[in-house]
Structure 1
């Protein structure tokens, strides 16, 4: 990295070439990434640390370039465009996705020359440019962005880099019927409920690739690859894990409950109960198999991890402590539900979440299944 930049002038072309080589891609996808330098789509200000000030390209060109050309998401907007003051934890609201995740999504979508593609969530326009390279002159890319200012900036970048992409400012949940039917739809924002217009605007046999979450505040996010059938339904497996911002139209409202409530029951279990939720292997399973809940970490006490769980369909709650103590109250016994679900998962051989799939019916019903429907 040192050879690729000095104190003031990073070699962006060399950094770009190295970042593409690091992805280990081949064929059309490798060519697309090689032709689209990421730095051409990243604005002057980025937030590598959500608790600190942004990095400025004009003031800190080397750290900015290093941030842009790592294989990580780059936050390009916080708090819907209203940065917080000193000491505030900013909330990321626009980013350039992690390049290796982008590559996985593009592969899953099977974007080929001549394809007609809808992208939901333009962001910086970097992924739109990659799609444009993949579909070529005979295909088309339409991208929709809810934030008009972000859409305008992306459109300018796409124009400057020579990519013919239709940029639409609007709610991505509605899709863009004027360009339908599409061969593929890619969402760069997570959804809890798959919008019905996405199914109706993709042709039978077309692919929908999207980050899906079983709940807004649940562990794990899944990358789903769905294929639309002739009935207007779509189904497919989870092909990997993701961490994307929620679509703005699906941001949750309301808080949690039970924080200071007196428990109806106190138990001591044999192992750290927090691990059932926080571990990368079991956490997504609990999100998939236990309905209607959310969670948040609590400050540790004497070095002991604590998790706060709240039902979303009633007043039930649970507090879990890393030393084995469990407190719960309300009409549901949430910890008991976690224990049962975890036991079933273990008895099934601890299947990874890529063994699960998702079906969306034409009427909008969502079903998660294991191995097969």
Structure 2
């Protein structure tokens, strides 16, 4: 390897600073050697392949770009479909999460999802090694991260276990930062974070939904609540990544076919708008499908609470089946959203209430509920 990583890390930090990352956080990205936490080979954006053995300089350059780097597929099993299952997140996203956590030296921090260990190294720089515990469900990833961190001079506590049920004492953490998306914020997280502490996690209303949001939830006993800090997409927690119901087969027969004006797929094909839809209407998953002799994909939307579904086609057709009138629900949700002044994702928030067993999405104020789910009845 002919390149020195130091100017590359400084360039990454400068880029983050230019995007608005606070200086005290950007400086940490200049100090922590990201490449020391990465495997010999990984995938970048657009499935670009970087291999240290064949092109070490390009591998090193990729390590200090602001992009997510896929470091594991198919949970590490061979012969799979190549579905990403672990990654080193884009540094700008990591910076957003660290900023949302409002970290200070000496705070006790629990990270759920160690992955490569890079974020644990950043946390160690910010609060001190004795104050960082990171937990990883994948034994191989936990062992690899522990070794990489130690080799780079970082010694947080690295545990192998279920991050949704972490084995740390109750009320022992000032911050909990999850590097995986959840739909149900685990009750145990409210146990381990002391009152006045904060949970920072990617959150989505249901597995299979579009992307997600960054939730920064302040803990007060049996309740945690806070506004969303914008949209973002993370890999799902392994126990929550499957929708409650599978998508209907492509040859499923509709009960009804309607013709609407314009392209009904537009909102679902716009990432930011699709995330808003998930906050306006709960309980659905979506995907894309192709029919023979068509160039444009159709959007497939299926309820996660019943067998209802709808297919949205470029030519204006809306095919649907089941008792839940999904198209009408989304139309009503969008109409209500426009009447509220077309609020941004950051004007919505979440309350997790263990005593009531509910998760409530609200707009502008916790008293203004948009909808709620009762997990005791799930």
**Aligned partners of 1:269 and 1:326 also within 8 Å:** yes
Counterpart position of 1:121: 113
Partner residue of 1:295 out of 268, 279, 286: 286
For 1:365 and 1:153, locate their aligned partners in 2 and report how far apart those are by CA, in whole Å. Answer: 37
Assess, with a 3 A threshold, how the Cα gap between structure 1 residues 57 and 180 changes in structure 2: closer, same or farther. farther
Alignment of 1:282-361 (within 5 A): 282-299=273-290, 302-361=294-353
Q: How far, CA to CA, are the matches of 1:333 and 1:242 in structure 2? A: 28
Which residue of structure 2 lines up, in the alignment, with residue 158 of structure 1?
Answer: 149
* Structure 2 match to 1:33: 29
- Residue by residue over 1:184-241, the C-alpha shift from the partner in whole angstroms, topping out at 9 and shown as x without a partner, is 0100010010001101110111011000011111113100000001x32100000121
Give the equivalent residue in structure 2 for 1:199.
190
Displacement, 1:278?
A: 2.2
Does the Cα contact within 8 Å between 1:281 and 1:352 map onto a contact in 2? no
Is 1:72–2:105 an aligned residue pair?
A: no
The residue that corresponds to 2:360 in the other structure is: 367
> Contact 1:118 / 1:182 at 8 angstroms: preserved in 2?
yes
The CA deviation at 1:318 is 0.7
Distance, in Å, in 2 between the alignment partners of 1:265 and 1:252 is 28
Q: Encode CA deviations 1:326-368: one digit per residue, 9 max, x unaligned.
A: 1111111211211111111122221111110000012342000
User: Is 1:9 the counterpart of 2:5 in the alignment?
Assistant: no
- Whether the 8 Å CA contact 1:50–1:91 is kept in 2: the answer is no
| Distance across 2 between alignment mates of 1:182 and 1:321 | 49
Quote the RMSD (CA, aligned, Å).
1.9
Cα pair 1:285 1:345 within 8 Å, conserved: no
Look up the match of 2:95.
103
Distance change >3 Å, CA 84–CA 68, structure 1 → 2: farther
Tell me how far 1:115 sits from its aligned partner: 0.7
1:19-43 Cα deviation digits (max 9, x unpaired):
1111114443233222201111111
Residue 160 of structure 2, aligned match among 160, 169, 185? 169
Of 147-156 and 179-188, the range deviating more from structure 2? 179-188
Partner SS state of residue 290, structure 2: strand
Question: Distance between the aligned counterparts of 2:106 and 2:231, measured in 1?
Answer: 29
Q: For 2:236, which of 230, 246, 255 is the aligned residue?
A: 246
CA distance in structure 2 between the partners assigned to 1:250 and 1:220 by the alignment: 14
Question: Could you say what secondary structure the match of 2:96 adopts?
Answer: helix
Distance (whole Å) between structure 1 residues aligned to residue 354 and residue 294 of structure 2: 51
Partner SS state of residue 199, structure 1: helix
Write out aligned runs for 1:176-191 (5 A).
176-178=167-169, 180-191=171-182
Q: Distance in 1 between matches of 2:26 and 2:58?
A: 26
Deviation string 1:279-330 (CA, Å, 9 cap, x unpaired) is 2343122212223221110126533341111122222111101221111111
Q: How far apart are 1:180 and its partner, in Å?
A: 4.7
Q: Answer yes or no: is the 8 Å Cα contact 1:119–1:142 preserved in 2.
A: yes
| 3-state SS of 1:243 partner | coil
The yes-or-no answer on 1:144 pairing with 2:135 is: yes
Alpha-carbon displacement from aligned partner over 1:110-129 (angstroms, at most 9, x marks no partner)? 11111110000001111001
Residue pair 1:209, 1:224 contacting (<8 A) in 2 also: yes
- Unmatched runs of 5 consecutive residues or more in structure 1: 1-7
* Alpha-carbon separation, structure 1, partners of 2:149 and 2:159: 13
Residue 177 of structure 1 and its aligned partner are, at CA, apart by: 2.0
Asked if the contact 2:45/2:67 (under 8 Å) is kept, the reply is: no
Q: CA deviation at 1:163?
A: 1.6
Shift of 1:135: 0.7
Aligned mates of 1:26, 1:224 — CA distance in 2? 19
Within the candidate set 78, 82, 86, 2:77 is matched to: 82
Partner of 1:4: none
Give the equivalent residue in structure 1 for 2:217.
Answer: 226
Number of aligned pairs?
360
Cα pair 2:228 2:345 within 8 Å, conserved: yes
> Is 1:19 matched up with 2:9?
no
SS of the residue 1:177 aligns to: coil
2: CA distance, partners of 1:304 / 1:93: 28
Per-residue deviation, 1:258: 5.5
CA distance in 2, matches of 1:76, 1:48: 9
Counterparts of 2:47 and 2:28, CA distance in 1 = 34
Structure 2: how far apart are the matches of 1:329 and 1:152?
48
